[in-house]
Amino acid sequence: MRHKDIPLRERIIFALDVASPDRAMELVERLENRIGFYKVGLQLFLAGGFPVVERIAARGHKVMLDLKFYDVPQTVNLAVEQLAGRHVTYATVHGNPPILEAAARAKSDVKILAVTVLTSFGPEDAAQMFGPAARVEDVVLSRARAAIQAGIDGVVCSGLEAARLRAELGDDFFMVTPGIRPGGKTADDQKRVITAGRAISDGADHVVVGRPIRDAEDPISVVDAMQEEIRKALANG
C-alpha cells in the first residue's frame, strides 16, 4: 500500500456541522493552526451557501462539500457543473453508475467522492435495505468498485472497510472515512466507528471528525492526539 503525499494538517477533515456561518468561522479560526481542511454539509450550506465556502477558502483552507447529490443523471451533472471555480476540493455524490458517470463528466476542478454506505448503518440496517444475506462490507466494496469504474475520484466509507478496499481496488483513488472516534467508542448515531490512526493505517487518505473535536473540553488536545496517531500510522506504513 502506498500512502499519498498529503500534509498532516489536511489528513483530518473537520466537520462544520453547525447552524450558522459565524459559528462555523469561529471553529475554523480556533482550529486552523492545526487543521487545513473543512467539511461543509447540508445544515451549514443551507444556512450560508457558497459564501461560507468562500470564507473558508479565503483563509487558505480546503473544503469538502458534503451535499450527497442524488437525482436523475442529468440533474446531477448540472449540479456538479455549478461547483466549478467555487473553491471546492471534494464533493459527494450518491447513486448508481449512470448517476456517478454523469457527475464524473462534469467535475472540472472538483474531485468527486461516491458515498458507499453511511457510517450510521449497522448490520441490521443492511439486512433491511439490501436483504437478509447482505453484509455491509460487501455492499461497500461493490459500490466502491462501480464508482471507480464510473470515473469517480474516490469514495466515502467506514474505516472498517478501508483495508479491504485498498487490497482489492488499489491505491489510485481517494478514500475518506467518517465515523472516527477516540478509542473507537461512540454514544451517538454512528455505528461503524474506528480510530484515526487505524483508519489511516488501513489505507484511508483522510478522516472526517466533528463531534469528538467540537464537543471536547480541549479541542486542540484532541486534534493533537489524533494527528499523532496519524503520524505514527504513516511512519509505520
Positions annotated as catalytic residues are 68
Q: Read off the C-alpha cell for 186.
A: 461512540
User: What secondary structure, in 3-state letters, does 83-99 show?
Assistant: CCCCCCCEEEECCCHHH
Taking residue 7's Cβ as centre, other Cβ atoms within 10 Å add up to: 8
Backbone phi, then psi, for 198, in 5-degree steps?
-65, -40
For 236, the 3-state DSSP assignment is coil
- Which residues face 40 on adjacent strands? 65
Single-letter amino acid code for the residue at 190: Q
Q: What angle do CA 222, 223, 225 make, to 5 degrees?
A: 65
